Amino acid sequence: VKILVLNSGSSSLKFKLFKMLDESVICSGLIENIGARESLFSLSHQEHRINKKIAIQDHYEALCIVFDLLFEEGVLVDIAELYAVGHRVVHGGDKFYKATVVDESLIEELKSCIPLAPLHNPSNILGIEAVASKAKELTQVAVFDTAFHHTMPNHAAQYAIQASLYKEDKIKRYGFHGTSHSYVFKQSCKLLDSKTEATNIISLHLGNGASVCAIKNGKSIDTSMGMTPLEGLVMGTRSGDIDPSIIFYLHKTKGYSLEEIDLLLNKQSGLLGLCGENDMRMILQKAKEGNAYQLAIDIFVYRIKKYIGAYMAILERTDAIVFTGGIGENSEQIRELICEGLEGLGLYLDKDKNLNTSKKDLILSQTNSLVKLLLIHTDEEKEIAIQTKEVLKDLE
C-alpha cells in the first residue's frame, strides 16, 4: 500500500510516492514554473528518469498530469494501491492544528484562510480538488505548516496590538515550516539518543524561505515567522523583521501603492534586495570583503545570531542547535559564520566535522560543547507521509 504526498508551492508541485510500511520512496517528481509558457516536469522512478517541457496552466492541471503519468509509467496499476494522499497545506488558520482528513467543510475553511496565505493556499486547494476529480473515494489528508506551532503560548503568539484584533480577527503569530521543524526535532532526538519530551532545541530551517523555532520538551514555544511567512529571518526574497512604519513611509512619502509594498517585501527584498541575488551559493561565490554580497551574508547571519540568543534565553536550557534546509544542510561557511563568537553561550563548532559533506545526519560540535550543534537533513514529504499514516491509524 502506498501514500502519495503532494507539496504545492506557489508555482511548483513536488510529489513523492511512499511505500507505507517503511516510508521508503518509490517515485518522486517535480513540476516547476506552473502557469508560465513552459513548465518543467521531471519524474524519477527506480533507474528511470523523465524530463519534459510542457505548458501547464495551474495546479489542477499539474496534478491531473502527475496522476495520469503514474499510471502510464506503471508506477501505479490500480488506484486501490493508494492508501491515501497527503497534502502540504501552508496555512491552517486558527482552526487546524493537526493533520486532518479532507472533507467539504475543510475545503470551505481553507478557502476562508486564503487571505492569510494568498500565494500558497489556492494551489493547495486546487491540488485537493484535482485529486477528488481523479479518484473521488480516495482519502485525502491535509498536513498544515502552521500546526506544529499551535502549542505556542499566548505571550509568544499575540502581537502587542489591540487585543480585539487577536480575539476577533485572529491576527496573531501562526508560524510556518512546522513539518520541517517537527521532523528535524524527532531526528535530532534520535541522533542525541534523548527523549522527545525532555529535549530542548533551536531548529534553524535555512532555505530560500527561512525560520527559527524554539522547541521545548518536544513542543514549539516560539518561531520567527508570524501571521504570514514574511516575519523573522532575512530570506531569499523576503525582508523578515522590519519596522512597520517603513510601510507607511513608503506609501505616504514615496507614493508606493500597497500592492507595490507587498511585492517589495515578499519578492524583492531579503538577499535579493540587498545584493541582487537570492541564491546563497552564488552570493558566497561573489562575496569579497566590503562588497554588497558580503554585506548581504553579514545581515543574514547577524539576524540568525540574534534569534539564537533570544531563543536560548526563553528555552532556559538548550540541548542542541540544528541546521537544516538548503543553506543549513549544505553551506559549511554559513554554519561557521553563525557559530563564530557564540562560544560564550556554550557553542563550540568542530571545524573539521563541519566540513563533512556526507548525506548523513551529524553532530558538528566539539565533544565538550555544552550545546550540541547538529546537521539534520529535513524531509517535509516524509513527515507528511508519517502524519497522514498516523491520523488515519487513529481513526481506525
Catalytic residues: 145
> Does residue 285 bind ligand ADP (CB under 6 A)?
no
Interface mask toward ligand ADP for 229-268; x: CB under 6 A: -------x--------------------------------
Closest approach, Cβ 42 to ligand ADP, in A, equals: 15
Nearer to ligand ADP, 34 or 312 (CB): 34
326 near ligand ADP, rule: CB under 6 A = yes
Distance of alpha carbon 122 from its chain centroid, rounded? 17
Strands across the sheet containing 2-8: 48-54, 39-45, 25-32, 13-19, 2-8, 82-89, 140-144, 100-101
Q: Which of 70, 230, 308, 327 binds ligand ADP (CB under 6 A)?
A: 327
Q: Which of residues 37-76 bind ligand ADP (CB under 6 A)?
A: none
* Options 70-78, 103-111, 277-285, 287-295: segment touching ligand ADP (CB under 6 A): 277-285
How many angstroms separate the CA atoms of 350 and 347, rounded?
Answer: 10
Q: How far lies 169's CA from each of 156, 227, 387, in Å? A: 17, 12, 29
Closer by beta carbon to ligand ADP, 30 or else 192: 30
Residue pointed to by grid coordinates 506557489: 10
User: Considering the rule CB under 6 A, would residue 281 count as an interface residue with ligand ADP?
Assistant: yes
CB-neighbour burial class of residue 141 (10 A; exposed 0-12, middle 13-18, buried 19+): buried
Cβ closest to ligand ADP, residue 172 vs residue 335 = 335
- Report helix, strand and coil shares of the chain as percent, to nearest 5: 40, 20, 35
- Tell the burial category of 155 from Cβ atoms under 10 Å away from its Cβ (0-12, 13-18, 19+): exposed
Q: What residues numbered 195-214 form the site for ligand ADP, per CB under 6 A? A: 207-209
Angle at 174 between CA 237 and CA 279, to 5 degrees: 20
3-state secondary structure of 95: coil
Nearer to ligand ADP by Cβ, of 200 and 324: the residue is 324
State the minimum distance, in angstroms, from the CB of residue 338 to ligand ADP: 13
C-beta nearest to ligand ADP: residue: 326
Q: Give the nearer residue to ligand ADP in terms of CB position, either 6 or 84.
A: 6
Determine the Cα angle at 270 with ends 269 and 272, to 5°.
Answer: 70
Residue 359 CB neighbours (<10 A): 7
C-alpha to C-alpha distance for 18 and 351, rounded to whole angstroms:
36
Among 39, 228, 331, 365, binds ligand ADP (CB under 6 A): 331
- Cβ(215)–Cβ(152) below 8 Å: no
Among 92, 226, 232, 325, binds ligand ADP (CB under 6 A): 325
Which range of residues in 40-48, 49-57, 76-84, 321-329 is near ligand ADP by CB under 6 A? Answer: 321-329
Listed ranges 242-250, 275-283, 308-316, 387-395: which one lies at the site for ligand ADP (CB under 6 A): 275-283
Beta carbon of residue 282, minimum distance to ligand ADP (angstroms, whole number): 7
Residue 240, helix vs strand vs coil: coil
Task: For ligand ADP, give the closer residue by CB, 189 or 280.
Answer: 280
Q: Is 337 in the site for ligand ADP (CB under 6 A)?
A: no
Among 8, 188, 318, 330, binds ligand ADP (CB under 6 A): 330
- Which residues are bridge partners to 44 per DSSP? 28, 49
Q: In the complex with ligand ADP, which residue's Cβ is closer, 279 or 350? A: 279
Three-state DSSP class for residue 384: helix
- Spatial distance between the Cα atoms of 257 and 253, rounded to a whole number of angstroms: 11
User: Among 110, 191, 280, 362, which residue sits at the site for ligand ADP (rule: CB under 6 A)?
Assistant: 280
What character string, x for contact with ligand ADP (CB under 6 A) and - otherwise, covers 104-143?
Answer: ----------------------------------------
Which residues make Cβ contacts (< 8 Å) with residue 322, sequence separation at least 6?
Answer: 184, 185, 188, 201, 202, 203, 204, 328, 373, 374, 375, 376
Report if residue 178 touches ligand ADP, rule: CB under 6 A.
no
Which spans of this chain sit near ligand ADP (rule: CB under 6 A)?
A: 207-209, 236, 279-281, 284, 325-327, 330-331
